[in-house]
Structure 1
């Protein structure tokens, strides 16, 4: 069953407190680990991350240690931490599908019986696992059916532009990159079709682009971005940036919001609305909303909604301004409420 990031987060927040294990599948770089981390924080759990792909089967049982005439298996590493937990702990088995069948089989008793040999997991420990798909060129040969059946549910994470832009706005990703991916949402994730040593577009690799924007000089932008998301996606981004950089600056628009030009093409509208949202402050929000009213009047309701919502996501305190409160009874207020 495919889920978007919001659905996965809500599902984990419901299952984790009930100690129900979840298996998440999906391509590399779409945010599986990040969402698990967010869900752990939301539910008040510590996070223990294990990578079964680098384990031996015996790691899940412990090391034999002589005690008189007998030997007992003593836990160590991640197993010892989980067995010693006294507060809520989420044990995250990352990249489980890359582990050998023997290592996967060693996890079965832990996942279902919540014990290994004579050692019993405390009630405060919950399991979540993640894996790439066999089609993702990630070295996944599959997961044993008896292991799969030990998870309460199995879901496939599918990235969405709405979820990514919501994260990007809150994380202060450069406005031009947010605007570009809204204009070309099909480039958020591109399935890699070759086995060549090169990157392809994904939420993770676009995050690297965001970190390098403003760091590399213009003549190196294509090289840098292509190394992150592939040459095709990087070339389109460079073309979009050419449009973005020729538009009036947000400061110029806010100097005369009643008369500043309103773009006509979708690419330019995405650029202007995203840039204005990034520049919104309590001191200039009345001017932002003046320009936004003109967007509505010109028939660009979608872009007016993007501008207002992005501004509020970045700075929730804008909702307390007189300009925003006055706008609640206007056409903009209806747009924000989705009416």
Structure 2
């Protein structure tokens, strides 16, 4: 079953408190690990991250240790197993890249996942298992997961990134508005399936995150080289072309200075760019000017972009909801946009 990041976040918030294990699948770099980390914070759990691909079966069983008389031996937990066994607070034990692990290591996890014990060692009741894996079609070294292991998870879901969820995260994370505008314009480039085994990156939420970190740092003559190394040459070429359009637009500060007369773009790419740029500058103090320009966009037939402008403004600066301009605007077309009408 495919789920969006928002749906997965909500699902985990329900399953984790009930101690129900969840297996998350999906292509590399789409945010599986990030969502698990956010879930740990949201549910007030500690987070233990294991990488079964580099483990031996003994990591999940413990090492045999003889008794004082040498007549018997017990398995003593160590490493991640010991930490989970002695956890005093609610803990999410996250098995990352489980599908890359050997069958022997996967088999060693089965008793832990279902019986919540290994031999005489019993997991505390406040430990919850989550796991993630790429798919066999992702060229990520995944050979599969044993059926008995899969059946020990309460649910198995496939994560699919969406531009709305990514944009909401990007606004909160102060990602450059020009990158948000570009990916809204070219939504198909948010996450691309890798089809070759060449040593190169492809577009994914993770790789676009690297682009975001280098924007404003890399000089213009190195932009294409830098971005191509992060997301591939094709996507980088389109991004650089979009940035040229973005940089030729009217200055957003100039639009806010004269919102009742500033030009409204007609091209789709320019509308994405100007809407995102204005939202990045929206504050409680200038939101009356944002409202003026937004209302003109609606009158010009660009309701979709007016909606993006208002929603992005709220995500980046929640304080605008306290402004008189926002409160007043809720009685008109902007209010309908906020409600989704």
Same fold (TM over 0.5): yes
C-alpha distance in 1, partners of 2:196/2:148?
Answer: 32
- Structure 2 equivalent of residue 189 of structure 1: 191
What's the CA shift for 1:40? 1.3
Equivalent residue runs for 1:1-339 within 5 Å? 1-68=1-68, 69-339=71-341
C-alpha distance in 2, partners of 1:283/1:127?
Answer: 46
C-alpha distance in 1, partners of 2:196/2:245?
Answer: 31
Task: Note the aligned Cα RMSD (angstroms).
Answer: 0.6
Q: Give per-residue Cα distances to partners, 1:193-233, cap 9 Å, x unaligned.
A: 11010000000000000000001000000000000000000
Question: Match of 1:107, SS?
Answer: helix
What's the CA shift for 1:281? 1.3
C-alpha distance in 2, partners of 1:338/1:326?
Answer: 17
C-alpha distance in 1, partners of 2:270/2:201?
Answer: 28
TM-score (ref. length: structure 1): 0.99
TM-score (ref. length: structure 2): 0.99
C-alpha distance in 1, partners of 2:337/2:33?
Answer: 34
Question: Match of 1:216, SS?
Answer: coil
Aligned residue pairs total: 339
C-alpha distance in 2, partners of 1:95/1:11?
Answer: 20
What's the CA shift for 1:305? 0.6
C-alpha distance in 1, partners of 2:260/2:13?
Answer: 46
C-alpha distance in 2, partners of 1:254/1:22?
Answer: 47
Q: Give per-residue Cα distances to partners, 1:120-173, cap 9 Å, x unaligned.
A: 001000000000000000000000000000000000001111110010011000
C-alpha distance in 2, partners of 1:288/1:60?
Answer: 57
C-alpha distance in 2, partners of 1:67/1:324?
Answer: 73
What's the CA shift for 1:273? 0.4
What's the CA shift for 1:67? 1.6
